[in-house]
């Protein structure tokens, strides 16, 4: 299916946003909470011209002569204090600690290292904590969605039949540990994750 072009960000699909990820990294996987950073390419070619013109004017006002930033670096973390916002207020932005704008890839990479450290491990979107990925998509589009179980999971990279998996954010009353789960399950839930419906569409269906 051909993706629509020149659409307002609210119309962008999860697959389009994920496709704009240039790189992603996470920190120490053995920690209770893990830091992660996602470098997102600014997809100016998909913005309506009127919106793009406004952004250009803002960029020139804020940093004259530098032009438009090329990437945004979303930096994530989790603490138990975030649970109320996540589960009661349905506010995914609670896990976004900062967004750094960068004017080239080297600037973006430096912002990643500053956050996750030199030992950060590169990951595909499928291998990031799902709650971080859903937070990114909702931040970019401004649209709340009803996500599947992938949002509460973290699958580590691997191509064998079974790969490490843990619940994330960590459940309050359960041990924090990885267990082996089928790789095909990871792929299936991730595909469904990218097709998650908007909250508005589900409310309309329920009427």
Q: Are 71 and 108 in contact (CB under 8 A)?
A: yes
Digit-coded pLDDT (tens) for 70-117: 999 999 999 999 999 999 999 999 999 999 999 999 999 999 999 999
Cα of 72 vs its chain's centroid, Å: 12
Residue 136 CB partners (closer than 8 Å, separation 6+): 17, 38, 40, 74, 96
| Gap between the Cα atoms of 58 and 81, Å rounded | 34
* Domain ranges across the chain: 9-147
Strand segments (E) across 130-175? 153-155, 162-167
Instruction: Judge if pTM exceeds 0.85.
Output: yes
The string of pLDDT tens digits covering residues 128-176 is 999 999 999 999 999 999 999 999 999 999 989 999 999 999 998 888 8
């Amino acid at each position: 299916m051909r993706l629509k072009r020149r659409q307002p960000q609210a119309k962008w699909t999860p697959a389009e946003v994920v496709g704009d990820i240039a790189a992603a990294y996470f920190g120490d996987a053995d920690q209770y909470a893990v830091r992660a950073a996602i470098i997102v390419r600014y997809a100016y070619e998909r913005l309506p011209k009127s919106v793009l013109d406004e952004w250009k004017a803002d960029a020139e006002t804020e940093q004259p002569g530098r032009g438009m930033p090329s990437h945004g670096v979303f930096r994530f973390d989790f603490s138990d204090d975030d649970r109320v916002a996540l589960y009661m207020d349905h506010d995914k932005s609670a896990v976004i600690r900062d967004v750094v704008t960068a004017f080239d890839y080297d600037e973006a990479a430096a912002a990643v290292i500053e956050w996750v450290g030199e030992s950060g491990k590169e990951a595909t979107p499928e291998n990031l904590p799902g709650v971080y990925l859903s937070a990114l998509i909702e931040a970019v589009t401004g649209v709340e969605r009803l996500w599947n179980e992938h949002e509460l999971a973290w699958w580590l990279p691997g191509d064998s039949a079974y790969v490490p998996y843990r619940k994330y954010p960590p459940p309050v009353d359960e041990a924090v540990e990885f267990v082996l789960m089928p790789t095909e399950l990871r792929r299936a839930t991730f595909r469904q994750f990218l097709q998650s419906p908007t909250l508005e569409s589900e409310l309309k269906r329920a009427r």
